Amino acid sequence: MKKTLLSLLLLSSAIFASANSEIPRPEYPRPQFERTEWINLNGTWSYEFDFSQSGLERSLFKSKGFDRPITVPFCPESPLSGVNHKDFINAMWYHRKISIPQNWDGKRILLNFGGVDYKSTIYLNGEEIFVHYGGSSSFAIDITAYVKAGSENDLIVYVQDDLRSQLQTAGKQSRRLYSYSCLYTRVTGIWQTVWLEAVSKGGLKLCRITPDLDNKQFVFEPVFYDLDLNATFKVRVLDNGKEVYSQKVPASDNAFISAKIKNIKTWSPESPFLYDIEFSVLDAEGNTIDKVKSYAGMRKVELRGKTFYLNNEPYYQRLVLDQGYYPDGQWTAPDDEQLKKDIILAKEAGFNGARLHQKVFEQRYFYWADKLGYLTWGESASWGMDWTSPLAARNMITEWEECVARDYNATSLVAWSPLNETWKEDIDGQRARLTNDLYFITKRLDRTRPVVSASGGYHAGFTDIYAEHTYVQDPIELYKQLSLDENGYPYIHHPNFSAPYKGEAYMIDEFGGIQWIKEMKTAEVAGTDEFWGYGKPPRTIEEFYKRLEEQVNVVLSMDHITGFCYTQIVDVELEKNGIYTYDRNLKFDMERIRKIFSKSREQAKLEVAKMLSERNAR
């Protein structure tokens, strides 16, 4: 009876989706590597929780369907999944039928997962075909040998998510039953798009794109599935539809294409110009056997001394902390428009970028940052992990490598930050070893971007940007804290546990966090158990604006600080210190907010001098 009811539910859902053309998150999930032959597998799947983890003994991998429906790609903890289960889920099973089109015969068939938290074992028709570790990294499986064109197949995904083990990345997921302070509802299982894709056997696997502004060229590094001595690889670069570069080379993993561009146009937050790019693989007769759409921006980021440069000009980063949580989808935005809206809201508040915090954001977020002109920092979901455990370190390194490789081409991404606040006493040097390993691995994978080894303290010895956090609320005390000491050294939160400052670029990449709830007229009416933030809340809205402006003025006025990151863009669950509410509605007069965060450093220095003078006169 249960199976029959489920079948009716699935059929009704399929008919409804077909009639309304409503597949959740229907857009192509990988905008810098887009093909036309693909099938979105989002929508209604069936699932079963496996709290006793007996599913393998019960042969659930052979299932033809489970008893309850779930909407993918939303995690079961989210309302949008249709499940909304808030307790711990150590294991669960997913099922859906997948049909392989007849015209895919003779092609390589790929099964792609944008993100599954944490360990996922993939079965087709009862046979285990792949195991992946890592809740944040994307992965693809070549299923050509397991399916036939025109066939229908049973796809099973077995998920294991032992959050409390401290052996896996978790980000801001709570290890208690309920959310508390700055730790939030958990994310289990599939949380990004799942899709099928057909590719020629000799198709393009990937292509790294490196902008070289000084030489006015893009450097392309292709990698192919099967190498054919007679095949060629073609690159076209277009400026608003007009071809500005084209070249063909042998289709080889040893191929490098240096595409010189005349009258080069640069990318920046103020002018986010993107070139369209077409990759093609041609057979011996010149027929196109694979075609991929892409894009790239011409931009250069580097540190010169203690200053951040964009396109060979000093550039002050005015970042905001973005944790990428949504009240109805948890880690998953309800739709593509919401990703775009989040960036627009931040830019309207006066920020030119975001530190993407304790979550590896999906590729479509980077797409909108590229399109709209918005700097981003890439960060892992490192919290919840025991940084002193060698097994946890192994899990972390593998996942991080996959994330860096995946997002290398993102134009907006200007810095990597693998760790955040590793505030735990070291054991046998394991924390320091992991921190330094991640720094050098990231530099080897990407020499074009600076690396912040451990944001907010416990730097282990190597970092390109010395990034510190402070939530001192009083502006005078903040000024004293952030001023250089008598020896010319900046503020270090944990000097006994961090490597000495050696003259690196210096940023305050967390500060502020001022509590304010939109509905209350004064903070005194709210109990401490009802919301959370840093410091004592302001008593009135005018006190909020004054504290905010004076804090921002202090940070802007310091010549040794090359940029800031304010906490945060939206409220998240109990944490009520966002510029906007959790559902992305207004809390403040945005014209005042924008003027504060976009203020010139010269003006900030004048206002800080006035503030100090007035305080001294009292």
DSSP 240-271: TTEEEEEEEEE--TT--EEEE-SS--BB-SSS
Residue-level pLDDT at 22: 86
State mean pLDDT over 168-191.
95
Q: pLDDT category, 8, cuts 50, 70, 90?
A: very low
Residue 483's pLDDT band, with cuts at 50, 70 and 90, is very high
Is pLDDT at 527 greater than 50 in this prediction? no
For position 153, what pLDDT does the model report? 98
Averaged pLDDT score across all residues of the chain: 93
Q: What is the pLDDT of residues 564-607, one digit of tens each?
A: 999 999 999 999 999 999 999 999 999 999 999 999 999 999 99
Summarize the confidence of residues 494-508 as an average pLDDT. Answer: 90
Tell me, what's the pLDDT at 10?
43
For the cut 80, the answer to whether the pLDDT of residue 389 exceeds it is: yes
Q: For position 495, what pLDDT does the model report? A: 85
Homologous superfamily of the 301-617 domain (CATH): Glycosidases (3.20.20.80)
Give the mean pLDDT of 461-486.
Answer: 96
Mapping DSSP onto H, E and C, the string for 7-40 reads HHHHHHHHHHHHHHCCCCCCCCCCCCCECCCEEE
| pLDDT tens string 120-165 | 999 999 999 999 999 999 999 999 999 999 999 999 999 999 999 9
| Rounded mean pLDDT, 366-380 | 98
What's this model's pTM, rounded to 2 decimal places? 0.94
For range 168-186, the mean pLDDT: 94
Res 5 pLDDT > 60: no
Per the CB < 8 A criterion, the answer to whether 321 and 569 are in contact is yes
pLDDT at 311 over 80: yes
Cβ-Cβ contacts under 8 Å for 331 (sequence gap 6 or more): 75, 115, 117, 187, 191, 324, 325, 359
Q: In the chain, what percentage of residues exceed pLDDT 70? A: 94
Name the percent of the chain lying above pLDDT 90: 87
CA distance 153 to 592: 57
* 1 pLDDT above the threshold of 80: no
Task: Indicate the DSSP class of residue 220.
Answer: E
- As a whole number of angstroms, the distance between CA 443 and CA 309 comes to 18
CA–CA separation, 352 vs 340, rounded Å?
14
How confident is the model over 236-247, as pLDDT tens digits? 999 999 999 999
DSSP labels for 480-500?
A: HHHS--TTSPPP-S-TTTSPP
Domain 204-296 has CATH 3.40.1800.10: no
d(C-alpha 374, C-alpha 357), whole Å: 15
Q: Indicate whether 20 pLDDT > 60.
A: no
Altogether, the residues listed in the chain come to a count of 618
**Model confidence band, residue 18 (pLDDT cutoffs 50, 70, 90):** very low
Residue 104 vs residues 120, 151, 198, 216, 508: alpha-carbon distances, Å: 26, 11, 6, 40, 52
Using one digit for the tens of pLDDT, what is the confidence trace for 200-220? 999 999 999 999 999 999 999
Question: Residue 98: which of 41, 48, 159, 25 has the closest Cα?
Answer: 41
In this predicted structure, the answer to whether residue 14 has a pLDDT above a threshold of 90 is: no
At 540, the pLDDT band (50, 70, 90 cuts) reads very high
Under the banding of pLDDT at 50, 70 and 90, the label for residue 379 is very high
Residue with tokens 């735990």: 424
Instruction: Kindly list the domain boundaries of the chain, sorted by start residue.
Output: 2-199, 204-296, 301-617
What Å distances lie between residue 15 and 40, 54, 64, 475, CA to CA? 16, 34, 20, 59
Res. 287 pLDDT band, cuts 50 70 90: very high
Per-residue model confidence as pLDDT tens digits over 410-451? 999 999 999 999 877 888 889 899 999 999 999 999 999 999
Question: For residue 521, is pLDDT > 60?
Answer: no
What pLDDT was estimated at residue 520? 52
Q: How confident is the model at residue 525, as a pLDDT?
A: 34
Structure tokens at 82: 């249709």
The residues, ordered by sequence, that sit 6+ positions from 589 with a Cβ below 8 Å of its Cβ are none
Hey, how many other C-beta atoms are within 10 angstroms of the C-beta on 48?
Answer: 18
pLDDT band with cut points at 50, 70 and 90 for residue 529: low
How far is the C-alpha of 427 from the C-alpha of 389, rounded, in Å?
Answer: 9
DSSP for 160-188, written as a single string: E--GGGSSS--TTB-SSSS-BTTBB----
Per-residue pLDDT, 532: 84
Mean per-residue pLDDT, 394-402:
97
Left, alpha or beta for 82 (phi > 0: left; psi -120 to 50: alpha)?
left
CA distance 353 to 346: 8
pLDDT 10s digits, 313-363: 999 999 999 999 999 999 999 999 999 999 999 999 999 999 999 999 999
Using the predicted structure, report yes or no on whether residue 530 has a pLDDT greater than 80: no
Distance CA 51, CA 267 (A): 49
Rounded Cα–Cα distance for residues 92 and 597 (Å): 45
Write the DSSP symbol of residue 61. Answer: G
Q: Which two structure tokens, joined as six digits, stand for 404?
A: 């860096």
pLDDT at 348: 98
Mean pLDDT computed over 273-289: 96
Whether 218 contacts 235, CB under 8 Å: no
Residue 104 predicted with pLDDT over 60: yes
**pLDDT per residue as tens digits for the range 355-371:** 999 999 999 999 999 99
- 506 and 491 in contact (C-beta within 8 Å)? no
| pLDDT score for 257 | 96
- Tokens found for residue 454: 């451990």
Q: Which CATH architecture has domain 2-199?
A: Sandwich (2.60)
**Which pLDDT does position 423 carry in this prediction?**
77
